[in-house]
Structure 1
Amino acid sequence: MVLRIYGVAIEMLRVLRPVMERIATKDPNLGDQMRRAATSVPLNLSEGAYSQGRNERARWHTAMGSAAEVRACLDVAEALGYVDNVDEELRLKLDHIIGTLHKLTRR
Structure 2
Amino acid sequence: MHKFRELKVWQRAMDFTVKVYELTAQFPKSEQFGLVSQLRRAATSIPLNIAEGAGAGSDAEFRRFLSIAARSGYEIMTGLEISQRLGYANEEQGKPFLAEVDEIVGMLVGLMRKLESKTSRRP
State TM-score, norm by structure 2: 0.77
**Structure label with greater radius of gyration:** 2
Say how many residue pairs are matched.
107
Provide the residue aligned with 1:22 in structure 2. 26
Task: Identify which of structures 1 and 2 has the higher relative contact order when contacts are C-alpha pairs closer than 8 Å and 6+ apart.
Answer: 1
> Where in structure 1 do 4 or more consecutive aligned residues deviate above 3 Å?
none
Provide the residue aligned with 1:70 in structure 2. 76
In 1, the alpha carbon distance for the partners of 2:28 and 2:41 equals 12
Provide the residue aligned with 2:15 in structure 1. 11
In 1, the alpha carbon distance for the partners of 2:109 and 2:27 equals 28
State TM-score, norm by structure 1: 0.87
- Shift in Å at residue 24 of structure 1? 5.3
Sequence identity (%): 28
Secondary structure in 2 aligned to 1:15?
helix
Provide the residue aligned with 1:41 in structure 2. 46
Gaps of 5+ in 2: 117-123
Question: 1:60, 1:105 within 8 Å by CA — same for their partners in 2?
Answer: yes
